[in-house]
Structure 1
C-alpha cells in the first residue's frame, strides 16, 4: 500500500503544480498521513480514514489563510481606477461629436455628461465609462488670468 500512497502524493503534486487554484494540495497532506500509517503496517481502513480526515482538516483550516496570503490582489477595473479622477481636455468636447481628455497619462475619447461644450485646457472629472468613452463633467475652475 505504501507504493499506492507514494504514487498518489506524486500525482496530486503534479496536479497542483499544473493549476493555480489550490485544488489538490490538501490531498497531498492526507496521502502523506496515510503513507506513514502504511509504513507502520496499519490496516487499509485506518489509512483511508487518515487520508480523508487529514485532507478535510487541511482544507478547512488552511484554505482561507493560503488564499489570503498567496492569491494576487485583484486590480480595480478601468472604471474603478478612473472614477472621479481629474483629466485635462486636449481636444474641445462638443455636444454631439465629443472630444479628447488626458487622464493619468492616457488619451481618451470623451463626451460631456450634460451635453455642453467643454473647452480645451479645462479640467474635467470622470463620471463613468461607456464602452471606450469617458463621460466627464467640468470642474469649477478659478478665472484665468489675462
Structure 2
C-alpha cells in the first residue's frame, strides 16, 4: 500500500500543479492521511476509509471557500465596455448605409437602431454590439 498511496499523492499533486482549478488537491491530502495511517500500521480497509473521509472533508471545506475567494473578475473588453457610452458620428448613418462612430478613442462601424439618419458630427449612444458593428441612437447634446 505504500507505493499505492505515494502514487496517489504524486499523481494528484502533478494534476493539481498542471491545472489552474482545484481538481485534485483533496485527493492529495487524503492520500497523505492514508499514508500516515499506513505508517502507523493500520490495516488496508482503515487506510481506504481515511483516504475517502479526508478527501470528502477537504472537498466540503475548501471548494466553497475557493469559490468565494478565488472568484475571477470579468475584465471588460472593447466589445462590452462601449455599450452605454456616447460616441461621435464620423460618417453618416442612414437606413441603407452603415456609418462610422468614434467611441472611447476607437472607430467602429455603426447602424441606427430605428433606421433614422445620423449626420457627421452628431452624438449618439451605443445600445448594443451586433457582430462587428454598433447599434446606436441619436442623442441631443
Scaled by the length of structure 1, the TM-score of the pair is 0.87
Deviates more, 1:96-105 or 1:75-84: 75-84
SS of 2:57's equivalent in the other structure is helix
Question: Within 1, Cα distance between the matches of 2:109 and 2:64?
Answer: 42
Task: Give structure 1 stretches of 5+ with no counterpart.
Answer: 142-146
SS of 1:52's equivalent in the other structure is helix
Deviates more, 1:71-80 or 1:124-133: 71-80
Check conservation: 1:93, 1:112, Cα contact below 8 A: yes
Q: CA RMSD in A?
A: 1.7
Give per-residue Cα distances to partners, 1:37-75, cap 9 Å, x unaligned.
111111111110111011111111111211332353233
Give per-residue Cα distances to partners, 1:68-107, cap 9 Å, x unaligned.
3235323356654222111111112122111001112221
Question: Partner residue of 2:9?
Answer: 9
Question: Within 2, Cα distance between the matches of 1:24 and 1:14?
Answer: 9
Question: Within 1, Cα distance between the matches of 2:139 and 2:95?
Answer: 17
Scaled by the length of structure 2, the TM-score of the pair is 0.90
In the TM superposition, residue 25 of structure 1 has moved relative to its aligned partner by 1.0
Question: Partner residue of 1:140?
Answer: 140
Question: Partner residue of 2:99?
Answer: 99
SS of 1:128's equivalent in the other structure is strand
Task: Give structure 2 stretches of 5+ with no counterpart.
Answer: none
Question: Partner residue of 1:144?
Answer: none
Aligned length: 141
Alignment partner of 1:21 is 2:58: no
SS of 2:93's equivalent in the other structure is strand
Check conservation: 1:79, 1:128, Cα contact below 8 A: no
